[in-house]
Amino acid sequence: MTKPSGAERDRPDPGLSALMSERHQLINLTYRLLGSLTEAEDVVQETYTRWYAMPARERDAIESPGGWLTTVASRICLDQLGSARARRERYVGEWVPEPLPTGTEWVSGRWDGGTTADPADRVTLDESINMAFLVVLELMTPAERVAFILHDVFRYSFAEVATIVGRTPTACRQLASSARRRIRTSPSLTAPATRRADTVRAFKQAWEAKDIDALIGLLAPEATATGDGGGLVPALLRPVEGAEEVARFFVGRIEVVPDLTLLESTVNGQPGLVAKWDGVAVSVLAFDIAGDRITQIWSVLNPDKLRLWRAGSSLPEEGGDAAG
């Protein structure tokens, strides 16, 4: 983080603790806005850099440093979202949001899945962080996404949102309303948590057993599987559609890598799977489940998005027996 120079460097900052406690809000906000923890980190770093680049007298004149930081971070995200479509066009294959393990937080200059860090640095895992929700957010315009997240998730008033996105409160209200319609018309998680976990466990067992019929029975007829390799590892460039096609795809994959180990884990606050090969996470799978059928599977193989899952023993492995 950039520090002031000269006399300002030695000037005590009585509000430093309160200022840095805003990281919790900023990380939670920017991850939801961008769907990437890597990009969220960069935005928060840039936000603090801009804060400390100001002369001390200008910082002292700001009545709400937290509000200033949120405004700047949101505007940076808005700019990034505006150019995201062009970046997606250059991305190899399908783009899937970066998956998060349970308790993701910042520890000594790195992200980790443990529980030893300051709670202010933790990414809160709630309904607005599950993979299905983040994927729907990708369908929104940048302004819709920012207005919706700020108002509906973080409870900013439309007047406050208006000052951030540079539109009128009425326009921001319309943006959030349009975003809600997108949410309502998209498939959502409707199964109770216990049933979702049971369904994911049954999928894991059928996948390990290479039981195509059992897999088909767990998948909705219109089920879709999407892989994200980012051009760095092999992955299908287009989603696989249909229960039988998805079932045969996953069986074929485990036949190619017979010593793949499947572990049950929590992915973005929901039951998911982690595939490990030679002890290293090579894929993280998130699921969308309606009733007792799987409607969507997102498989993230891009190693740049798996750094948290490869960080060490903090990865949760609830009920995760190795495949035979």
| CATH number of the CATH domain containing 226 | 3.10.450.50
Per-residue pLDDT tens digits for 206-262: 999 999 999 999 999 999 999 999 999 988 889 999 999 999 999 999 988 888 999
**Is residue 41 assigned to a domain?**
yes
Instruction: Tell me the C-alpha distance between 87 and 142, whole Å.
Output: 14
Q: For residues 199 and 318, state if they share a domain.
A: yes
CA distances, 215 to each of 244, 251, 287 (Å): 8, 9, 14
Q: For residues 174 and 133, state if they share a domain.
A: no
pLDDT higher than 90, residue 275: yes
**Is residue 309 assigned to a domain?**
yes
Q: For residues 276 and 175, state if they share a domain.
A: no
In this prediction, residue 190 carries a pLDDT of 60
**Is residue 6 assigned to a domain?**
no
**Is residue 161 assigned to a domain?**
yes
**Is residue 4 assigned to a domain?**
no
Q: How confident is the model at residue 191 (pLDDT cuts 50, 70, 90)?
A: low
The helices-and-strands tally (H runs, E runs) of the chain is 12, 8
DSSP state of 7: G
Q: How many domains does the chain have?
A: 2
Which residues on neighbouring strands pair with residue 273, listed in sequence order? 264, 285
Per-residue pLDDT tens digits for 65-104: 999 999 999 999 999 998 877 777 788 899 999 999 875 5
Q: In sequence order, what DSSP letters do the residues of 221-240 get, joined into one string?
A: EEEEEEEE-TTTS---SS-E
Q: For residues 200 and 259, state if they share a domain.
A: yes
Q: For residues 50 and 144, state if they share a domain.
A: yes
In this prediction, residue 89 carries a pLDDT of 76
CATH number where 66 lies: 1.20.140.160
Average pLDDT of span 144-151 = 96
Output phi, psi for 276, to 5 deg. Answer: -120, 145
**Is residue 5 assigned to a domain?**
no
Range of the domain at 122: 96-138+187-324
Per-residue pLDDT tens digits for 277-316: 999 999 999 999 998 899 999 999 999 999 989 875 333 3
